[in-house]
Amino acid sequence: MTIQFDQNRPIYLQLMEYFYGKICRFELEAGDKLPSVRETAVEVGVNPNTVSRTYMEMEREKVVISKRGQGTFVTEDQQMINELRERTAEKHIDAFLTVMIQNGFNEEEIMELIQKQLRIINKGGRENE
Amino acid sequence: MTIQFDQNRPIYLQLMEYFYGKICRFELEAGDKLPSVRETAVEVGVNPNTVSRTYMEMEREKVVISKRGQGTFVTEDQQMINELRERTAEKHIDAFLTVMIQNGFNEEEIMELIQKQLRIINKGGRENE
Amino acid sequence: MTIQFDQNRPIYLQLMEYFYGKICRFELEAGDKLPSVRETAVEVGVNPNTVSRTYMEMEREKVVISKRGQGTFVTEDQQMINELRERTAEKHIDAFLTVMIQNGFNEEEIMELIQKQLRIINKGGRENE
Amino acid sequence: MTIQFDQNRPIYLQLMEYFYGKICRFELEAGDKLPSVRETAVEVGVNPNTVSRTYMEMEREKVVISKRGQGTFVTEDQQMINELRERTAEKHIDAFLTVMIQNGFNEEEIMELIQKQLRIINKGGRENE
DNA sequence: GTGGTCTAGACCACA
DNA sequence: GTGGTCTAGACCACT
């Protein structure tokens, strides 16, 4: 469960993406309790302050809610989660296509390269089954 | 020719991507001279030191060569440019697919969402014709 | 601990060599923390930016790792350090022999002149005991 | 006869070393005429100004003499040439030993590594015979 | 005019 | 307190 952190980007952001991933994949569902700040800190091996910041940011985006003395929970608002998933996808697709086009790749090339990469991923994935 | 800089990421990196874009789109070809540090600085409205750093980083990656008293040039090595283009594509595709899968999107969804976004972009593009 | 800087060569390079020397002599070992940018700057009497550049270059060569908010550390990879030591030696020996041969010195002359110089150094060293 | 220039060091210095090498190897002897600035410039592919500077520096060090309208000549003073050879050797040996010791290599290691490198060079050299 | 280096001083995000 | 980035302005060597 250790995460490979990219030292060039804020750890709290990468940790956010990690939790958002879990929520978007429905590993963490509406209302579920997140592990405590300390637990997470130990588990992923970062400073508790950093985890705390992660939780604060997610709360600011209304994806989680912290209840004093009880812990931090995924929002009950399923609509919110669906939106998170959609926004996330759109943001990444948009950024991806923008940068690819800016680098002179056309639609055909982009689709082809993605297909190719997906085949590689699928092959690698199967080996681990 | 003005660039919209994202305040959250280093300017020198964004400037690198700008030039790499030009090279990948073959707007700047092997052996071409880049504008001087000072010219670029004025043009994009940043400090010459920042441009200098951009050029240095690109030189470290062997995409450009700086010659004292002469200027900075795109590498003569066409192979290097092709690699740049491939590496760029692979890096972005990889990161994109990783994050999408991490967020629980499967192949079909990913391909579909990209197609949808491409249609929107094309429609937007045509309006400008 | 003050360093005599050669005015004709970049300070940041000489500072790199200074730290590489410490690492090759095992005064700084794998995982050790380097003094902070600001500390080093004060100690050797140069601008923090210059020290920063030194640390950046060493990080680029994977000899040290900078961790935001924590400091800069010698790599944990002992293999890397051994390689640094070997590369350093090879680089200097190679350059030295190349230039000596280019100046028309043969093997015997080179070995003899080194022996002679080593005797002088040893004599000088003993005087300081 | 093309020279591999290290872009990080002044070309005029590298060109000086090239000529000093020829003189120390007695390929250019006392009183010999150097090729004209233009000839050299064309031959090694650098700006005539750069060659001009090289010749000026060598004249400043009294190793060559330029005679107006006639060209540039190696000094007639054989003593000067011998000193050049010795000074060159001493300078390089001194710098070399200093840096090796600074990097924690002891006498035995240094001598051994040089012997090893010389064997490699000799083997490589023979292949070209 | 060109890139390379350095200083001084500032601000920021991270831990 | 830590490194990272940026600006402003300066000087230098090379072409």
Half-sphere exposure of A23 (CA within 13 A, CB side): 30
CB-CB neighbors (< 8 A) of A7 in chain C: 65-68
Cα–Cα distance measured from residue C15 to residue C3, given in angstroms and rounded to the nearest whole number: 8
* Gap between the Cα atoms of A65 and A73, Å rounded: 5
Residue A72 DSSP one-character state: E
Backbone phi, psi, residue A103, to 5°: -95, 15
3-state secondary structure of A67: strand
Tens of each residue's pLDDT in chain B, 129 residues: 578 888 889 999 999 999 999 999 999 999 999 999 999 999 999 999 999 999 999 999 999 999 988 999 999 999 999 999 999 999 999 989 988 988 888 888 889 999 988 888 887 766 554
pLDDT tens per residue across span C34-92: 999 999 999 999 999 999 999 999 999 999 999 988 999 999 999 999 999 999 999 99
Which of D25, D83, D119 has its CA nearest to residue C111? Answer: D119
Coil, strand, or helix at residue B103?
A: coil
Q: How confident is the model at residue D97 (pLDDT cuts 50, 70, 90)?
A: very high
Report the C-alpha gap between D116 and D118 in whole angstroms. Answer: 5
Which of B4, B28, B94, B103 to mutate: most A Cβ within 10 Å?
Answer: B103
User: pLDDT at residue D124 above 90?
Assistant: no
Sign of the four-CA dihedral B63, B67, B69, B74: negative
Separation between Cα atoms, residue A74 and residue C3, nearest integer Å: 57
What pLDDT does C2 receive? 74
The pLDDT score that the predictor gives to residue D2 is 66
- The CATH number of the domain covering residues in D11-76: 1.10.10.10
The confidence score (pLDDT) of residue B125 equals 62
DSSP string covering C5-37: --TTS-HHHHHHHHHHHHHHTTSS-TTPBPPPH
Using alpha carbons only, what angle is made at residue A115 by residues A113 and A117, rounded to the nearest 5 degrees?
70
Task: Say which nucleotide is closest to residue C34, CA to C1' distance.
Answer: F2
Return the structure tokens found at A21: 């991933």
D114 shares contact with chain C (CB less than 8 Å): yes
User: Phi first, then psi: what are they for B60, rounded to 5°?
Assistant: -60, -35
Is D103 in Cβ contact with C25 (below 8 Å)? Answer: yes
List, in sequence order, every beta strand (DSSP E) within chain C.
Answer: 64-67, 71-74
DSSP 3-state assignment of D66?
A: strand
**Percent share of chain B, pLDDT over 70:** 95
Residue of D53, D7, D18, C9 lying closest to B68 (CA atoms): D7
If one counts every other C-beta atom within 10 angstroms of the C-beta of residue C50, the result is: 16
Spell out the domain ranges in chain C.
Answer: 11-76, 79-127
Cβ–Cβ gap D88/C101 under 8 Å = no
How far, in Å, CA of B68 to CA of B71, rounded? 6
Assess A7–C contact: CB distance below 8 Å, yes or no.
yes
Closest residue in chain B to residue D10, using alpha carbons only? B68
pLDDT at residue C73 in the model: 97
Q: Which nucleotides of E are covered by protein (CB under 7 A)?
A: 1-10, 13-15
Q: Which of A97, A104, A118 sits opposite B24 (nearest CB)?
A: A104
Given a cut of 70, whether residue C125 has pLDDT beyond it is no
Alpha-carbon distance values, D119 to A37, C103, D96, D123 (Å): 62, 19, 19, 6
C88 chain-D contacts, CB cut-off 8 A: 103
Residue D71: which region, alpha, beta or left (left: phi > 0; alpha: psi -120 to 50)?
A: left
Is B73 in a helix, a strand, or coil?
strand
Decide if C40 contacts C64 (C-beta within 8 A). no
Give every CB contact of residue C5 below 8 A, 6+ residues apart in sequence: C11, C14
Q: What angle do CA A41, A47, A50 make, to 5 degrees?
A: 90
Q: What is the pLDDT along chain A (129 residues), one digit of tens a residue?
A: 567 777 778 888 888 888 988 888 888 888 899 998 888 888 888 888 888 888 888 888 889 998 888 889 999 999 988 888 888 888 899 889 989 999 999 989 999 999 998 888 877 666 554
Measure in Å the smallest separation between the Cα of D36 and chain C Cα atoms: 22
Whole-angstrom Cα distance, residue A111 to residue D82?
A: 70
Q: Please give the structure tokens belonging to residue A96.
A: 């991806």
Give the Å distances, CA to CA, from D93 to A3, C9, C65, C95: 51, 19, 34, 11
